[in-house]
Structure 1
Amino acid sequence: MKNTILAASVATSALFLATPANAELPGPVRAMIDAAIERGDEEAVRTVIDLARQTNPDDGAELDTILSDYEADLAAVAADAAAAEAAAIRDAGLFENWTGKGELGAFRSTGNSDNAGVTAGLKLTREGIDWRHKFRARVDYQETAGVVTREQFLAAYEPNWKITDRLFAYALGQYERDRFQGFSARYSTSGGLGYDVIDNDSMALSVKAGPAWRRTELVGGGSTSRIAALAAADFDWQIAENLVFTEDASAFIQGGSSTYISDTGLQAAIAGNFSVRLSYTVEHDTDPPLGAVKTDTLSRVTLIYDF
């Protein structure tokens, strides 16, 4: 749509470029330039003007004027399109402009439980002018002979305020439940600063850190509340056209039991919006509740749908 508007605007402006100041330029040459402008092909316009400079060296000033007017039209149309896009984002409703991915698959765990089960996940992102919103949720569940042997839930919401193109402030609210790790509920909140260290078409690295607070409600009764520090990194690498390597790492460091998590994945596109992901997650608690081991690992195979 933007290209169509651009082509139409520039083509219209081309009708007004033939002023008496440019009358010395040969008619056929000028007709070629006008035709390229009307087509809305910027590369063709610049190529024709470059050729015209070679064949008509005495008309350089006139060609400079034509090119300058053309570039001014391009800039004006681009500015109008950017303003329209920004207005659309600002006027979007609460449930608009979200993108994300859903996952469904199987897992294999070792540590506090040694079994296989089903896993499901959801990640959502909403990019605004000054704000970015992230939501993620995951469920891992398994039963053996009618007895639950794995039951892990996680839900997290993180708004970001964009201070600059790369620097942002974040807030985080997170809920977890894993009875086999010894807690019926664990609530975490954090706020701090983040920075997009790398942000290009093939690679992205974002880091963040800040103070945190965690409350853990134990399966056997009782609870603990701790002031903590959060540090996290999110790395994505487009290895090939249809292959992406991901690494998400986080650390809640506190008195008592600190938590370190690493989730390493390899995602391959298979058809359309569908892809398959292999991942390996390690979660280590330095001082888990009585009866729980310190390290859990989880191997997942999931089918992903991007939307």
Structure 2
Amino acid sequence: MLNKVFGGTSILALMVATPAQAALPGPVKAMIDTAIASKNDVDIQTVVKLAKATNPDDIAEIDALLTAYTTEKNILAAAELKAKQEAGFFTNWTGEGELGAFRSTGNSSNTGISGGVKLAKDAVKWRLKLRAFADYQRSNGITTREQFAASIEPNYKFNDRLYAYGLAQYERDRFQGFSSRYTLSGGLGYSVIAEDNMTLDVKAGPAWRKTNFTNGGSDSSIAGLAALDFGWQISDNLKLTENASATIASDSNTFASTTALDAKLIGTLSARFSYTVEHETNPPIGRIKTDTVSRATLVYGF
């Protein structure tokens, strides 16, 4: 029966000429699935390229896996875009609140309580960030640490990377020598890295700053501001962030850096260990140029 001819070709000859296609080896598929689960497009493309090179007979199956991932990603992106377009001002906010202790050195050497809150709303063409924090301590009826800061930063997105920013910031730190400091700035920002596990935003622009000193004097000046925000999701339970800024003014330059490491505890609750350095090139008379603050806080994300 196998040698029966249909149109001049035997069934046996057809079976020999077109063998059954082999399935993609399990370890290779597992490697691709792991890369897709990471949602890192660079890693996915690298793994897929290697898989195709080492398994040329299974290119169609590899392409099918990649197409399925791309389709799902596009569907989710379209749903997210629609949600942003339809969301009202009071919806789709994300943020975090933190509370813990700090240890400072420099113009004051204290241990006290520290707290803060961050809020962000990300829409289609704009983004809004709100931030506030405070360090405070009283000892024997005397305030030995008092630092407050609050800021609001609207962004307008030209595309996925480039945006314009505005910034209004208030600070108070009597132990650095000023009862209040106001900063207004506007300029351009750019997302240098925008991966699922790593982000890096930089921004720069002109600024205006007014400082009211604890001795009763005040000063205002035109300045320049540059800043960066870096985030690295090292693993599912560990994240590193770095926020740094430089304000260059005629009266005094201010440099600030906060490095933080978050360790996930349970659910949306994390432990945060951070270290802040603040440096004034020309502080008021009697003040030290550099202050440092170490904080250990619990952070609740929402």
Aligned-pair CA distance for 1:201: 1.5
* Structure 1 residue corresponding to 2:133, chosen from 138, 141, 151: 138
- 1:120 equivalent in structure 2: 115
* Structure 2 residue corresponding to 1:129, chosen from 124, 129, 145: 124
- 2:26 equivalent in structure 1: none
Q: Deviations over 1:253-276 (max 9, x none)?
A: 111111000101111001010000
Aligned-pair CA distance for 1:290: 1.7
Give the distance between the partners of 2:194 and 2:282, measured in 1 at CA.
36
Provide the aligned C-alpha RMSD in A.
2.3
The change in CA–CA distance for 1:303 and 1:129 in structure 2 (over 3 A counts) is same
Q: Deviations over 1:234-259 (max 9, x none)?
A: 11111122111111100001111110
- 2:210 equivalent in structure 1: 215
Give the distance between the partners of 1:82 and 1:208, measured in 2 at CA.
26
Matched, 1:241 2:236: yes
Give the distance between the partners of 1:98 and 1:173, measured in 2 at CA.
20
* Structure 2 residue corresponding to 1:171, chosen from 166, 173, 176: 166
Instruction: Please give the residue correspondences for 1:60-71 in structure 2 after superposition, counting only pairs within 5 Å.
Output: none
Aligned-pair CA distance for 1:86: 3.8
Which structure 1 residue ranges, 4+ long, deviate > 2 Å from structure 2?
Answer: 81-94
- Among all aligned residue pairs of Structure 1 and Structure 2, give the percentage whose two residues are the same amino acid: 59
Q: Deviations over 1:273-294 (max 9, x none)?
A: 0000101000000001122111
Q: Note the residue ranges of structure 1 that are not aligned, 5 or more in a row.
A: 1-42, 44-66
* Structure 2 residue corresponding to 1:153, chosen from 139, 148, 152: 148
Matched, 1:224 2:219: yes
Matched, 1:273 2:279: no
Instruction: Please give the residue correspondences for 1:82-93 in structure 2 after superposition, counting only pairs within 5 Å.
Output: 85-93=80-88
Structure with the bigger percentage of helix:
1
- 2:36 equivalent in structure 1: none
Aligned-pair CA distance for 1:84: 6.1
Aligned-pair CA distance for 1:208: 0.4
Instruction: Please give the residue correspondences for 1:1-307 in structure 2 after superposition, counting only pairs within 5 Å.
Output: 85-307=80-302
Report the TM-score, using the length of structure 1 for normalisation: 0.73
Q: Note the residue ranges of structure 2 that are not aligned, 5 or more in a row.
A: 1-32, 34-63
Give the distance between the partners of 2:289 and 2:80, measured in 1 at CA.
49
Give the distance between the partners of 2:102 and 2:85, measured in 1 at CA.
40
Aligned-pair CA distance for 1:199: 0.9
Give the distance between the partners of 1:187 and 1:176, measured in 2 at CA.
7
Aligned-pair CA distance for 1:87: 4.5
Aligned-pair CA distance for 1:85: 4.7
The change in CA–CA distance for 1:197 and 1:83 in structure 2 (over 3 A counts) is closer
- 1:51 equivalent in structure 2: none
Give the distance between the partners of 2:87 and 2:233, measured in 1 at CA.
30
Report the TM-score, using the length of structure 2 for normalisation: 0.74
Secondary structure, counterpart of 1:180 in structure 2:
coil
Q: Deviations over 1:18-45 (max 9, x none)?
A: xxxxxxxxxxxxxxxxxxxxxxxxx9xx
